[in-house]
């Protein structure tokens, strides 16, 4: 999984910041409420700035944008 690889290798690769799209949302037809918590589970461990670009088609419900929701996966 790419998120685990990033988590394990970003320092070795010299990555100082990270910007990425919401993986699979948009053309992949995955929903942010499924993807967001999974991405945050891995990316919250990084000690660099991370920016996730959200899909622009359709509105994401506010309940799926809260810190509590996005960090709910253990």
pLDDT of res. 37: 97
What is the CATH number for 18? 3.40.220.10
CA distance 26 to 58: 10
Taking only the tens place, the pLDDT of each residue in 4-45 is 999 999 999 999 999 999 999 988 999 999 999 999 999 999
**3 occurs within a structural domain:** no
pLDDT of res. 48: 98
Domain count, the chain: 1
**24 occurs within a structural domain:** yes
Q: Which domain holds residue 58?
A: 8-70
**65 occurs within a structural domain:** yes
Strands in the chain per DSSP E: 17-21, 49-53
């Amino acid at each position: 999984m790419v998120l685990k690889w990033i988590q394990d290798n970003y320092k070795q690769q010299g990555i100082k910041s990270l910007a990425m799209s919401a993986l699979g949302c948009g053309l992949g037809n995955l929903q942010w409420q499924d993807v967001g918590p999974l991405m945050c589970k891995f990316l919250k461990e990084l000690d660099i700035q991370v920016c996730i670009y959200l899909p622009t088609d359709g509105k994401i419900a506010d309940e799926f944008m809260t810190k509590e929701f996005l960090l709910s996966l253990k």
